[in-house]
Amino acid sequence: MSTSPTSTVPTIELNDGHVVPQLGFGVFQIPPAETAQAVSVALETGYRHIDTAEMYGNERGVGEALRASGLDRADVFITSKLNNGFHEPEAARAAFAGTLEELGSDYVDLFLIHWPLPTLYGGDFVSTWKTLEEFHADGRARSIGVSNFQVAHLERLAETCDVVPAVNQVELHPSFQNRDVDAYDRAHGIATEAWSPIAQGQVLGDAAVNEIADRIGKTPAQVVLRWHIQHGNIVFPKSTTPARIEENFALFDFALEPDDVAKIDALDRGEAGRNGPNPDVFDYVPG
Ligand SMILES: NC(=O)c1ccc[n+]([C@@H]2O[C@H](COP(=O)([O-])OP(=O)(O)OC[C@H]3O[C@@H](n4cnc5c(N)ncnc54)[C@H](OP(=O)(O)O)[C@@H]3O)[C@@H](O)[C@H]2O)c1
């Protein structure tokens, strides 16, 4: 881990040599018409990593905000993801071209298979991954990775494919620490990205989190996000509230004591803490 010269946000080196700011800004559930405004606030605040997806319908707003910011394209790390209806290779190629067009960029920093969908496409996410390998080889996806992959899915890629995913983006927060997947990632050089890092706000009322926050003079969101940072997770909290966008960025002038990290570690409820769909059975394809 190192600190980028232009900001206080540490960077994580991926297994392909590219680096990603450990803290970014997520745009899930931001309506397309509001996305450019929210991303502009994030870029003004100092975020240099934006996490979007074809499924969110707001890649265009991300690209607009980037161009309006006056920042160089190279200064902002952009992730997008393949939508669930496009896993077959020809469809994936067309969808990826669409992502670049929506963003108004000739590359993405990171492109992910959004969901493994093991009950669809005859269980075949391997040919989808091999198609992402093409985007990586031709340079239009600087890094490629997966999202919501379970250990069995990662093992299957390891047996059949050449490129190890650079990241696995999974649900992970204090109530659901996704430990088997995280352990597999770490053992195989795959960076874990933690989606819903504050459990969409649900973890912010927790008594242990609030006790720590009150004692050290930080907010519950800052305590939980700092916990992720100290575990080495990559995070991109979402907010459309400017004050929260700033609050979530102010994580690098304090550290949690080991005892406090352990108190948050103890909040894990295993599968019972999962809020989102289970990737083993999730089969949603947007219409
Ligand atoms: N790969 C996947 O399948 C997947 C799935 C889900 C999410 N993601 C990614 O992960 C990102 C983050 O996850 P998420 O959007 O689900 O949830 P999240 O970041 O854990 O939480 C967002 C929610 O928390 C609120 N919030 C944000 N900062 C706060 C603060 N400081 N204090 C109190 N409330 C706060 C936001 O409200 P306001 O906006 O009203 O401020 C919003 O309702 C997404 O945007 C997306 O990029 C990926």
**How confident is residue 4, by pLDDT bands cut at 50, 70 and 90?**
very low
* Phi/psi at 172 (5° precision): -165, 120
SS3 label, residue 169: strand
Cβ-contact 135, 111 below 8 angstroms: yes
Q: What does the pLDDT look like over 84-99, one tens digit per residue? A: 999 999 999 999 999 9
Pairing relationship of beta strands 167-171 and 10-13 according to DSSP bridges:
unpaired
CB 240 near ligand 1, within 6 Å:
yes
* Phi/psi at 61 (5° precision): -65, -35
Q: What's the average model confidence in pLDDT over 36-55?
A: 98
28 pLDDT higher than 70: yes
The CA distance from 165 to 145, in Å, is 4
What is the structure's pLDDT at 173?
A: 98
6 pLDDT higher than 60: no
2 pLDDT higher than 70: no
What rounded mean pLDDT belongs to the chain?
Answer: 97
Write the CB contacts of 137 (distance below 8 Å, at least 6 apart in sequence).
Answer: none
What is the structure's pLDDT at 109?
A: 99
**How confident is residue 5, by pLDDT bands cut at 50, 70 and 90?**
very low
The CA distance from 38 to 54, in Å, is 18
The CA distance from 115 to 79, in Å, is 15
What is the structure's pLDDT at 7?
A: 56
Pairing relationship of beta strands 19-21 and 10-13 according to DSSP bridges:
antiparallel
Is 121 known to be catalytic? Answer: no
Distance separating the N- and C-terminal Cα atoms of the chain: 41
What is the structure's pLDDT at 270?
A: 98
Cβ-contact 146, 116 below 8 angstroms: yes
Q: Which member of 47, 56, 121, 284 is catalytic?
A: 56
34 pLDDT higher than 80: yes
The CA distance from 184 to 280, in Å, is 17
Q: In ligand 1, which atom is closest to the CA atom of 238?
A: 19
CB 275 near ligand 1, within 6 Å:
no
Q: What's the average model confidence in pLDDT over 250-255?
A: 97
> How many Cβ atoms from other residues are within 10 Å of residue 210's Cβ?
14
Q: What's the average model confidence in pLDDT over 244-251?
A: 98
Q: What does the pLDDT look like over 57-74, one tens digit per residue? A: 999 999 999 999 999 999
CB 238 near ligand 1, within 6 Å:
yes
pTM (predicted TM-score): 0.98
CB 246 near ligand 1, within 6 Å:
no
108 pLDDT higher than 70: yes
The CA distance from 144 to 267, in Å, is 32
**How confident is residue 111, by pLDDT bands cut at 50, 70 and 90?**
very high
Q: What does the pLDDT look like over 155-182, one tens digit per residue? A: 999 999 999 999 999 999 999 999 999 9
Q: What does the pLDDT look like over 184-229, one tens digit per residue? A: 999 999 999 999 999 999 999 999 999 999 999 999 999 999 999 9
Centre of ligand 1 to C-alpha 169, Å, is: 14
What is the structure's pLDDT at 261?
A: 99
3 pLDDT higher than 80: no
Say which residue the tokens 């790390």 belong to.
Answer: 77
Query: In terms of Cα–Cα distance, which of 224, 114, 236, 239 is closest to 173?
Result: 224
Query: In terms of Cα–Cα distance, which of 63, 64, 98, 106 is closest to 81?
Result: 98
Q: In ligand 1, which atom is closest to the CA atom of 222?
A: 31
> How many Cβ atoms from other residues are within 10 Å of residue 184's Cβ?
20
Q: What's the average model confidence in pLDDT over 145-151?
A: 99
